[in-house]
Copies of this chain bind each other. A is one copy, B any other.
Amino acid sequence: MSDTSTATPESLSQTLAESGLRSTPQRELVFNVLLKKRDHPTADEVFARVKAEMPTISLATVYNCLETLVQCRVVRAVNFERGPTRYCPNQKPHAHFHDESTGSTHDIDLPPGLLDQVKSILPDGYDSNSVEIIFRGKAKD
Contact = CB atoms under 8 A, between A and B. Distances in A.
Interface of A: 77, 79, 81-82, 85, 95, 97, 106, 108, 110-111, 114, 118-119, 121-141
11 contacts: A77-B81, A95-B121, A106-B126, A108-B123, A110-B121, A126-B139, A128-B135, A129-B137, A131-B133, A131-B134, A132-B136
A79 B81 contact: yes
Contact of A126 (B85, B110, B125, B135): B135
- The DSSP consensus for interface residues of chain A is strand
Given A82-B85, A125-B140, A126-B106, A135 B114 contact: no
A5 to B, nearest CB: 17
A127 B122 CA distance: 27
Contacts of A118: 114, 118, 133
Contacts of A130: 135-137
A103 to B, nearest CB: 15
Contacts of A133: 118, 131-133
A123 B85 CA distance: 25
Contacts of A82: 79, 82, 85
Given A79-B82, A135-B128, A122 B140 contact: no
A127 B135 CA distance: 9
